[in-house]
Chains A and B, each alone.
Chain A
């Protein structure tokens, strides 16, 4: 029992066990994150994780890195301050769909538009799980949630389309069971300069699956995995997610565009000889 898990050195062991339910996909996404950090060879003293509020918001508390657990929806603007104050930092925002896209939606599109140098990992479990399974901006049409007891009659956001349209330079989507591919995407995202975005489709057996009779975590994870279609370079516009429909996954966008900090400094250098 004294044997150390190979990932322990990057986890705050004194905070384990974590709060995530059995069958939840957040934990496996964190495994991918840690493997990706290892693989990327980043200086771990310079990696900062910023989270908002919610189940995924707890990631910041478990990784042994400089980590900030902020207010609901505000991880991205907090991370913007960090990334601009010290451009040597690799800033990773790790949060959920409700946090990043509903209450934090405005910050999301503007950070992508500005192309702030950060990687945003959004675990999408289609609901507000921590508060008991309310509907959110990604809840599929007709899906049940604690606030849509008769089914959801709002069009959800297609996150990869939203990110791409807002100006992200890297956009990918995987499920929590695509461990190798998700890890690879994270490594790629870390290497990008600018706003990179990865959506991780995750089961939520406790709040979302139970209400929609989708079985346990494993069944849900298997369903997502079996129903995902890998289509690199697909048009993000065509990657909507419906209720228990096929899910288009893969790398949608990988382009170059100068990040905010670089673009600003180059611009100022041209017009006034640079920031003195």
Chain B
């Protein structure tokens, strides 16, 4: 491996998609499988250039179903792995995101969101896959999803996504959007020693005692890799701690409850939000991704009129910061939720508010970011 080319420490003027690719490399990702799709393709292209320099393996698969499966296989083969997609490709990946959740396979899936439904707006922005990120594959499971608002965060959160996926053994989603993916800004890549990486939670006990799905105290089991002589069996069927299929209600309850609880019970450790002026706010804007940045101008306009506006930016969208939003609900006149969709995260905010205060959606069907004035108007109206 060419050590000099591994982590490009320094200041760069870089677009979000390139920053995402560099984040993956810095996180130790060495297997990429993907299928070209706008507006995410630059990530795959950049990785196809960079991986051969550092000993990684890039493979362009026949579709997104295959890409998602290949990264699961590669993860069990011992490499940190990632795929990247957008809109229609994200739909195709859902099947095997479910397999990843069921088999507790660490991996990262990046979605540079575009406008939908269907082929929709291939080159233009959307934030319409937020609920699909949470509920997209069939059955009950919990997932972790992060929302970057800048090229810098596409770097940082991609690293974070790898760490979370190793820590909780779950596919982690980086829910970017077309604007963040395509904008170029200053990106600082820290020195290698300053990038914290979590290792795979490998089993180290006696071979004959290994149970692939016996959890640690935090409900996450220890992993081994294919080829190490453990002769593991891994299945998408409901399974016991041995990994063997057991198709009954009792095993289902034990397994699915643990899959859900390993995220829910660790939610306080996983969730990250950014708050600004929320303590004495009359209105709080809850937003994420590029919409959080559009909101900053709206907040300025409101402050010019003397309205006290706070900002709660979702870094972790899933699991959702329900406790904090519920807490803030009793302090404010209302929440304003701008998002580039016809209402997704707003329902989650309403759920957490539990009727304690007003919640206003500022929708946008996609294709463009909000006009900050629309968000500003919503802030004004909620005070009436």
Contacts and interface: CB of A to CB of B under 8 A. Distances in A.
Interface string A63-92: 011111111011011111111111011000
A66 B230 contact: yes
Given A78-B73, A110-B61, A66 B236 contact: no
Given A45-B228, A86-B78, A69 B73 contact: no
B235 interface: yes
A50 B235 contact: no
B3 to A, nearest CB: 9
Contact of A74 (B1, B57, B65): B65
B63 A276 contact: no
A268 interface: yes
Contacts of B225: 86
Contacts of A74: 65-66, 69, 95-96, 99
Contact of B52 (A46, A61, A276): A276
Given A84-B31, A89-B227, A77 B236 contact: no
Interface string A217-244: 0000000000000000000000000000
Contacts of B81: 81, 85
A77 B73 contact: yes
Contacts of B230: 66
A48 interface: yes
Nearest to A261: B57
B70 A81 contact: yes
Given A107-B62, A272-B52, A79 B227 contact: no
Interface in B83-106: 95-96, 98-99
Question: Considering residues B71, B81, B232, B236, which has the most beta carbons from chain A within 10 angstroms of its beta carbon?
Answer: B236
B189 interface: no
Nearest to A72: B95
A69 B237 contact: yes
B65 A61 contact: no
Given A61-B244, A81-B75, A110 B62 contact: yes
A15 B233 CA distance: 11
Nearest to A50: B73
Contacts of B59: 80, 84
B231 interface: yes
B79 interface: yes
A64 B72 contact: no
B280 interface: no
Contacts of B244: 12, 14-15, 61
Contacts of A61: 233, 235, 244-245
Contact of B233 (A46, A67, A106, A276): A67
Contact of A12 (B2, B67, B233): B233
A160 interface: no
B226 interface: yes
A69 B232 contact: no
A276 B55 contact: yes
Contacts of B234: 67-69
Contacts of A82: 73-74, 76-77, 226
Interface string A186-200: 000000000000000
B109 to A, nearest CB: 14
Contact of A69 (B55, B70, B75, B235): B235
B5 interface: yes
B234 to A, nearest CB: 5
B204 to A, nearest CB: 17
Given A69-B237, A71-B96, A79 B229 contact: no
Given A78-B70, A85-B79, A89-B226, 17 more contacts: A12-B233, A15-B244, A48-B227, A61-B235, A64-B231, A67-B234, A69-B236, A74-B96, A76-B66, A79-B73, A81-B71, A81-B72, A81-B73, A85-B73, A85-B75, A106-B63, A110-B62
Interface of B: 1-2, 5, 31, 33, 51-57, 59, 61-63, 65-67, 69-79, 81, 95-96, 98-99, 225-237, 244-245
23 contacts: A45-B227, A48-B227, A60-B235, A61-B233, A61-B235, A66-B232, A67-B234, A68-B235, A70-B72, A71-B96, A74-B99, A77-B62, A80-B33, A83-B73, A84-B31, A84-B57, A84-B70, A85-B73, A85-B78, A88-B227, A110-B61, A276-B2, A276-B54
